[in-house]
Structure 1
Amino acid sequence: MSKRASSKYKIDRRMGENIWGRPKSPVNRREYGPGQHGQRRKGKLSDFGVQLKAKQKLKGYYGDISEKQFRATYDEAARRKGDTPENLIGLLESRLDAIVYRAKFVPTIFAARQFVNHGHVKVNGVRVNIGSYRCKAGDVIEVKDKSKQLAIVLEAVSLAERDVPDYVEADHSKMKATFIRVPTLADVPYAVVMEPHLVIEFYSR
Structure 2
Amino acid sequence: MRVSKFKTCRQILENVWQTKKLTQKQQKILSKARKKTNKAGEFSQKLQAIKKLSIFYGNLPVKKVAKKTYTYLDKQKSLLLLMEKRLDILLVRMNFCSTIFTARQLISHKKICVNNQIILRPSFQVSSGDLISIQQNCKSTIKQNIRYNRIFKNKPSHLEVNYQTLMAVLLYEPQQIQFPYHIDLDVLN
> Which shifted more, 158-167 or 112-121?
158-167
- Structure 2 distance, partners of 1:102, 1:131, is 14
- The reply on whether 1:15 has 2:12 as its aligned counterpart is yes
Structure 1 residue 30: Cα displacement: 5.6
**TM-score with structure 1 setting the length:** 0.75
Structure 1 residue 164: Cα displacement: 1.3
- Structure 2 distance, partners of 1:11, 1:159, is 28
Alignment match, 1:96: 87
SS at match of 2:113: strand
Cα 1:164–1:142 shift into 2, 3 Å: same
SS at match of 2:126: coil
**TM-score with structure 2 setting the length:** 0.81
Cα 1:39–1:59 shift into 2, 3 Å: closer
Partner amino acid, structure 2, of 1:54: A
Alignment match, 1:144: 135
Corresponding residue pairs, total: 181
| Contact residue 168 and residue 180 of structure 1 kept, 8 A | yes
Greater Rg, structure 1 or structure 2?
2
Cα 1:189–1:159 shift into 2, 3 Å: farther
In angstroms, what is the RMSD of aligned CA positions? 2.8
- The reply on whether 1:113 has 2:110 as its aligned counterpart is no
1:155-174 matches, cutoff 5 A: 155-156=145-146, 158-160=149-151, 162-174=153-165
| Contact residue 16 and residue 32 of structure 1 kept, 8 A | no
- Structure 2 distance, partners of 1:16, 1:159, is 31
Gaps in structure 2 of 5+ consecutive residues: none
Identity in percent: 24
